[in-house]
């Protein structure tokens, strides 16, 4: 865990690599730490002295507090937004890129930004085994009872945040075994009940993202991914110099938020209401995006953007998390357009750039930037009808006999199921409405087949 107090200028060495996206101070006492020591898991509570330097969180919102990191990292604005969403969705994020791009320092800042969080940190190698992360087995228990019992007190199962550096250097078997820990929140042992994992979020770093069938299951489960860009232009160096002059080469004063605040906002995200119209739009956007990705020559072969329930849930969670960050009581259409891009790889990632082009085109179909309130009111009406169709499908013999359709500027319509198709044909001239109408037409037709 990185120190959270401001370092003395004379006790630090300035890193001036032109390929880094930032300039920061490296404490002298850490500069000569042996590599063997750096690889050991590190779980350290925040000291009282460091806690005195905490920014008054009552004066800053959660999002504004974490925005402080943008003053110290050049080109990481989108990554910091992904980090906020990762915390609120209890998901994990990966910083991937060539050596020298700047991954470990931002990752350590992210972990250090959360006060009172139990942190597990280690560096993955080709020889790392699950025992190194979970905890050492207790020998006498195995000898006496024949059970493999682990001492998990200081391991990954008993932490709030985990920092796993050089994640791709480990064997794929290790990565797969971590899937259940990171995503199912359990550690499975033969002939025993699973060990629960309390981990909230993990930050992973890697020099490259391995490709191949054996890694697909691993990478498909990483919700947020960022590839730092290399500073190789004069403008980039100008930005980096401005950050250095502004911060005097000092790391930000950490922490910035509290783990209890993270948990509270995560709970608010889970309770966030998504109106039926917003959900209908998101459903079409998600389906159309994944369909186009599968038809793309390169993305279809990679399998990174295949449609599955996990990604569908992530899209919804990101929208709800965005609404939570803005202090809203419910999600709206603007959150679909504003936050869905963060659910795709960002930064200098060719696959991510291609996927973003597709997503931008899809969003423009139903949520163009200049869409008006009257058009969104049509979406609300179609969403309300979709909710009625869903209730009709669920209620069986107690189904309603009529459906209501309230289009803006038109009288309220009450119609039987067989009359709905005709009324839906009157929805015209609204950007993207034809796509939503097509969904409802299919739903009405399926209801008729089921009777």
What pLDDT, on a 0 to 100 scale, did the predictor assign at position 396? 64
What pLDDT, on a 0 to 100 scale, did the predictor assign at position 243? 83
For residues 94 and 97, what is the distance between their CA atoms, to the nearest angstrom? Answer: 10
DSSP-derived secondary structure for 120-171? EEEE--TT--HHHHH--B-HHHHHHH----B--TTSGGG-SEEEEETGGGS-
pTM here?
A: 0.81
Determine phi and psi for 183, rounding to 5 degrees.
Answer: -115, -35
What pLDDT, on a 0 to 100 scale, did the predictor assign at position 33? 41
Give the three-state DSSP class for 236. Answer: helix
What pLDDT, on a 0 to 100 scale, did the predictor assign at position 15? 34
For residues 341 and 205, what is the distance between their CA atoms, to the nearest angstrom? Answer: 21
What pLDDT, on a 0 to 100 scale, did the predictor assign at position 314? 94
Is the CB of residue 412 less than 8 Å from the CB of residue 436?
Answer: no
3-state SS string for 303-322: CCCCCCHHHHHHHHHHHHHH
85 cis-preceded (ω within 30 degrees of 0): no
Beta-bridge partner residues of 226: 95, 346
DSSP-derived secondary structure for 79-107? HHHHHHHHHHHT--EEEE-STTS--HHHH
The string of pLDDT tens digits covering residues 384-414 is 999 998 988 887 656 667 888 888 878 888 8
Q: How far is CA 50 from CA 6, 60, 85, 259, 351, in A?
A: 9, 19, 26, 16, 41
Complete domains list, the chain, with CATH: 9-264 (3.40.50.300), 272-366 (1.10.8), 373-450 (no CATH)
Give the three-state DSSP class for 187. Answer: strand
- DSSP letter at 117 equals -
Is the CB of residue 417 less than 8 Å from the CB of residue 451?
Answer: no
According to DSSP H, which parts of 342-372 are helical? 350-366
The string of pLDDT tens digits covering residues 234-261 is 888 888 888 888 877 788 888 999 999 9
The parts of the chain modelled with pLDDT lower than 50 are: 1-43, 46, 48-59, 143
């Amino acid at each position: 865990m990185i120190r959270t107090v401001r370092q003395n200028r004379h006790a630090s060495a300035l890193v001036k690599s032109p390929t880094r996206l930032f300039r920061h101070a490296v404490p002298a006492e850490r500069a000569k730490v042996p590599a063997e020591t750096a690889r050991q898991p590190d779980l350290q509570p925040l000291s009282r002295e460091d806690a005195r330097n905490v920014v008054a969180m009552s004066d800053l919102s959660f999002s504004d507090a974490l925005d402080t990191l943008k003053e110290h990292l050049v080109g990481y604005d989108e990554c910091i937004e992904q980090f906020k969403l990762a915390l609120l969705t209890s998901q994990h994020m990966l910083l991937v890129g060539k050596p020298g791009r700047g991954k470990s320092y931002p990752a350590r800042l992210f972990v250090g930004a959360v006060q009172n969080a139990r942190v597990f940190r280690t560096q993955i190698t080709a020889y790392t085994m699950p025992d190194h992360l979970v905890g050492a087995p207790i020998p006498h228990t195995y000898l006496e009872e024949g059970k493999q019992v682990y001492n998990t007190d200081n391991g990954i199962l008993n932490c709030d945040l985990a920092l796993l550096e050089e994640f791709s250097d480990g064997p794929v078997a290790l990565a797969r075994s971590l899937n259940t820990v990171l995503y199912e929140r359990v550690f499975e042992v033969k002939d025993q009940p699973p060990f629960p994992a309390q981990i909230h979020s993990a930050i992973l770093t890697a020099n490259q993202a391995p490709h191949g069938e054996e890694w697909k299951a691993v990478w498909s489960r990483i919700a947020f991914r960022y590839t730092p860009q290399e500073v190789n232009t004069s403008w980039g160096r100008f930005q980096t110099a401005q950050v250095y002059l502004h911060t005097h080469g000092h790391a930000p004063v950490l922490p910035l938020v509290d783990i209890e605040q993270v948990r509270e906002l995560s709970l608010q995200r889970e309770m966030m209401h998504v109106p039926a119209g917003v959900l209908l739009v998101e459903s079409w956007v998600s389906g159309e995006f994944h369909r186009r990705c599968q038809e793309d020559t390169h993305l279809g072969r990679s399998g990174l953007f295949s449609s599955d329930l996990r990604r569908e849930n992530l899209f919804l969670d990101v929208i709800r998390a965005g609404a939570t960050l803005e202090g809203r009581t419910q999600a709206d259409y603007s959150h679909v357009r504003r936050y869905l891009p963060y659910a795709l790889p960002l930064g200098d990632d060719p696959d991510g750039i291609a996927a973003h082009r597709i997503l931008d085109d899809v969003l423009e179909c139903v949520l163009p930037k200049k869409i008006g309130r009257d058009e969104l009111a049509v979406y609300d009406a179609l969403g309300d009808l979709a909710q009625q169709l869903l209730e009709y499908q669920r209620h069986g013999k107690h189904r309603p006999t009529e459906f209501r359709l309230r289009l803006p500027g038109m009288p309220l319509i009450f119609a039987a199921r067989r009359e709905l198709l005709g009324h839906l044909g009157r929805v015209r001239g609204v950007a993207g409405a034809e796509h939503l109408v097509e969904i409802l037409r299919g739903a009405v037709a399926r209801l008729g087949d089921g009777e």
